[in-house]
Amino acid sequence: MYDFLPKAVRQGLQEARKAALRRKDRLAVHDGDHTYRIRRFWDGGFALDLKGSDRLRGHVDIYDGPRHLYRCLVVSSIVEDNERVFEFKWLTPVTDRPAADFVRPDFVPAGLLGR
């Protein structure tokens, strides 16, 4: 892409881009005891940095900092442009309360006033 620039400038741009990604993105994949930073995340998958990432398969958890967001089933991975791109079969949001066995109304009052 930037082939006309000197090598030192290209390396500096790549390092700056990686530093910006580390600062703004807190999403991470937890696979057992291993944690990997997510570079990009979309509806059908996510991408990790190629260096330091292993091939993931099976159930993994996705966190935003300390908050558990999703549980997903990773089925395949490919290497593209210094990234390892993973696809998942399903993605399930993690809830903080138990499932209800009744329909919850859309509008719930904050409190009830007595007479």
71-96 burial code (b ≥16 CB/10 A, e <16)? bbebeebeeeeebbbbebeebeeeee
Residue 45 contacts residue 88 (beta carbons within 8 Å): yes
Per-residue pLDDT band at 105 (split at 50, 70, 90):
confident
Flag whether pLDDT at 24 surpasses 60.
Answer: no
Per-residue pLDDT band at 2 (split at 50, 70, 90):
low
Structure confidence by residue, pLDDT tens digits, 8-23 = 888 888 887 776 655 5
Which tokens sit at 65?
């900092």
Residue 110 buriedness (CB in 10 A; 0-12 / 13-18 / 19+): exposed
Residue 89 contacts residue 111 (beta carbons within 8 Å): no
Structure confidence by residue, pLDDT tens digits, 31-90 = 888 888 888 888 889 998 888 777 788 899 999 888 889 999 998 888 888 889 999 899
The predicted model scores a pTM of 0.63
What pLDDT score was predicted for residue 70? 92
What pLDDT score was predicted for residue 72? 92
Task: Report in angstroms the alpha-carbon separations of 19 from 22, 25, 36, 71.
Answer: 5, 10, 15, 27
The mean pLDDT value for 91-109 works out to: 84
Residue 23 contacts residue 53 (beta carbons within 8 Å): no
What pLDDT score was predicted for residue 25? 62
